[in-house]
Chain A
């Protein structure tokens, strides 16, 4: 079956612009996660959804970042007033339910470049 998909694969924007990054999880997966991976680093947690609600948004760096999952499936990560420091690969993952033994399946990521 289809894995986690993310669009766009690459996004180049200018400082100060607004961007939206989309994630389509594996069908039926109730838990969805966003991570950010800077060059040469491991992924860092941003936010996690269980169903439609954000169960943990403690990793969002500031109030320019926001994520939604209105119908419990597709999620959109929104970044306002982008800064050069936001440049990174944004990863989405999903799992069948939020439990420590359930594998998180990762998408290919969206590479965001802020000029």
Chain B
């Protein structure tokens, strides 16, 4: 079945550092890929998405590129801020009518000033 594997956390960085959170997936065909973020005390929010191979999703300075050849969707940001501290989830939505999001286990990110 479909699955998502995320880089294990927690991850702690200093402000303005470069961020990468790795995500790889296993799926039949070409699923849609997502990064969701959960800020402290808030619900899950969509951060960015890509629906086909080589698409790049971007939002709030974050980027991720859908790499079919490596089945990856790594999240990157060039200069993180304290306000980026949150839990990040990689997820996929399968094809063939399946509407269920399959999530990775989440990566807790803490940015220190």
Contact = CB atoms under 8 A, between A and B. Distances in A.
Contacts of B106: 40-42
A91 interface: yes
A98 interface: yes
Contacts of B91: 42
Interface in A14-64: 31, 33, 35, 40-45, 48, 55-56, 58-59
Interface in B89-113: 89, 91, 93, 95, 98-106
Given A100-B32, A103-B49, A45 B43 contact: no
Nearest to A47: B100
A108 B99 contact: no
Interface of B: prevailing SS:
strand
B100 A56 contact: yes
Nearest to A42: B103
Interface size class of B (residues with CB under 8 A): 20 to 34
B51 A100 contact: yes
A33 B43 CA distance: 15
Nearest to A41: B105
A45 B102 contact: yes
What DSSP secondary structure best describes chain A's contact surface?
Answer: loop
A75 to B, nearest CB: 15
B51 A106 contact: no
Contacts of B43: 3-4, 91, 106-109
A100 B95 contact: yes
A93 B44 CA distance: 9
Interface string B33-66: 0001000001111100101000000000000000
B100 A59 contact: yes
Contacts of A59: 100
Interface in B5-40: 6, 31-32, 36
Interface of A: 3-4, 31, 33, 35, 40-45, 48, 55-56, 58-59, 91, 93, 98, 100-101, 103-109
Shortest 9 CB-CB contacts between residues of A and residues of B: A42-B103, A45-B100, A106-B44, A100-B32, A108-B43, A106-B43, A98-B99, A100-B93, A103-B46
